[in-house]
Amino acid sequence: MQFDEMTSKMAAGNGFIAALDQSGGSTPKALKGYGIEESAYSGEAEMFGLIHQMRSRIITAASFTGDKVIGAILFERTMDGEVDGKPTPQALIARGVVPFIKIDKGLEDEVNGVQLMKPMPELDALLTRAKALGVYGTKERSVINSANREGIAAVVKQQFEVGAQVLAHGMMPMIEPEVNIKSETRAECDQILLEEILKNLEALPEGQQVMLKLSLPTKPGLFDPLVDHPKVLRVVALSGGYKRPEACVELSKNRGIIASFSRALLEDLRHQMSDDDFNASLGGAIDEIHAASTAKALSPA
């Protein structure tokens, strides 16, 4: 797939995006969920080797194809590794799956109810390397914990500034200002976030587009103006801590939004499974998330 083909797939593809981008801090938890305890490995190299084996097993599974999984987000080390003897991005492309890379380096401490992204001084070098490997776009995450307009405005401003840097490299930014689903002011956060994103979209140069990765809103349909916006290529949703059944129910209430799930995709997979059981479990999860992404619940009359 060339860049334009990947853009077309992201714009209109009938599927969802797999988030396979757990990084250093969240890798032990991801491995534990997969059935591998911390006592089973020592040091970062072994830990990342095991998580790469897990991701390779997912990517090469029979059900993991571009028919239902239209994109996948990779951690930097996964991008730099190989699957089936190919660089991971090329292995994804061969299966019809558009590759993205997580570029943020974690979160700052909370200020004004939000956590901004840490500085990324080596971002230009990473983008150059990712582009050369065939990566289509990026994903960058901030967190919103409370309905503080100053804080939320700062998150969105930083996200769009990083997005501009990504666009300058000829890549597609997936902007992720995550609203904490446990926030006591979640509905207000959703509304302020919508308003701030719309402001920044208006300031985006004509002809440019971004993708948005958002927490599912408390009010179904709230993000319709973003789904319909000409400067938004696609709106995708994170599971944000919901288990898969609940995440899929909430997703199905929001037209035009597709999944970009991580834990909700992988929650039933275990290292100890036979290949047949692993493939069946992954295939069932893919079918369930695909249905919620593409077959939307009817709004009440």
With H, G, I as helix, E, B as strand and everything else as coil, classify residue 179. Answer: strand
With H, G, I as helix, E, B as strand and everything else as coil, classify residue 72. Answer: strand
C-alpha–C-alpha distance, residues 116 and 177, integer Å? 9
Decide: 88 and 64 in contact? Cβ < 8 Å. no
Decide: 178 and 144 in contact? Cβ < 8 Å. yes
Could you confirm whether 213 is annotated as catalytic? yes
Task: Name the DSSP letter for residue 97.
Answer: -
Q: Give the containing element (helix H, strand E) for 65.
A: none
Could you confirm whether 219 is annotated as catalytic? no
Q: Which residues contact 215 (CB under 8 A, 6 or more apart)?
A: 178, 179, 180, 181, 190, 237, 238, 240
Which tokens hold the place of 9? Answer: 């797939």
From 140, 176, 178, 196, the catalytic residue:
176
From 9, 68, 102, 213, the catalytic residue:
213
C-alpha–C-alpha distance, residues 197 and 103, integer Å? 20
Rg of the chain, C-alpha, whole Å: 18
Catalytic residues: 176, 213
